[in-house]
Structure 1
Amino acid sequence: MRIMGLDVGSKTVGVAVSDALGWTAQGIETVKIDEANGEFGIERIAELVKEYVITEFVVGYPKNMNNTVGPRGEASENYKKLLEETFSLPVKLWDERLTTMAAERMLIEADVSRKKRKQVIDKMAAVMILQGYLDSKN
């Protein structure tokens, strides 16, 4: 039983999966998408779902600091619906406020170059989203 964590952006989706026991999250990859043209990377997500035998999704839900839902939050809600319709698996929205900022801060502290940070930031944010969810369950 593995859970997939997703950090959905307008150009990429960061992907993380849990270990088989559901204790730790590992970053897998960043899937390129084109939100404007209706390309959401579902084909690649489907390959990963099959490869890792995913039984549940956790999608980052970027609420505003005042707890309202803006355009990015609505995009996550739409992605959740797309996943439910495509895979017929449970999909949870997980509050991810400040997750990307925390991931970037961690990478800066690890002295990762700006170019490299840009390549891994979404995957790192997906790990943080999934790990937060896993920690809340245990």
Structure 2
Amino acid sequence: MSKPQPSSPAFNVLVVDDDPDSAESLAFCLQQDGRTVRCATSGEEALAVAETFAPHLALVDIFMPRVDGHALAQELRRRFGTGMVLVAVTGAIRSVETGAFDFQLTKPVDFGQLEQLCRLSQSQRSAAA
């Protein structure tokens, strides 16, 4: 019988994209590495999910209807402070203004870069605890 592995603390990731297929594919990759992931397909839905899910990292699409990624990032920052790492995910290389976002990934997302950001965020969270 194999020895049970010690459980690591949960690391919550919120994926926000108005394209459900994009959100789900990112979520799938993140879940494969043992992270807890929730998806939202609008800024409004993301804010509601964040209230109960408490994400450590949020991947936010910039170009969404109604509440765009910039407005969502500002509201997430206002509500949750700097404890949440915010990553802009966009197809336009120069679309991200400095401000609420910590990092930017360009679509299609390089999963190696995404993994590095997740590990960095997890290590920062561990150091702060």
Q: Relative contact order (C-alpha < 8 Å, sep 6+): which is higher?
A: 1
Q: Which has the higher strand share?
A: 1
Task: State the TM-score, normalizing by the size of structure 1.
Answer: 0.41
Task: State the TM-score, normalizing by the size of structure 2.
Answer: 0.42
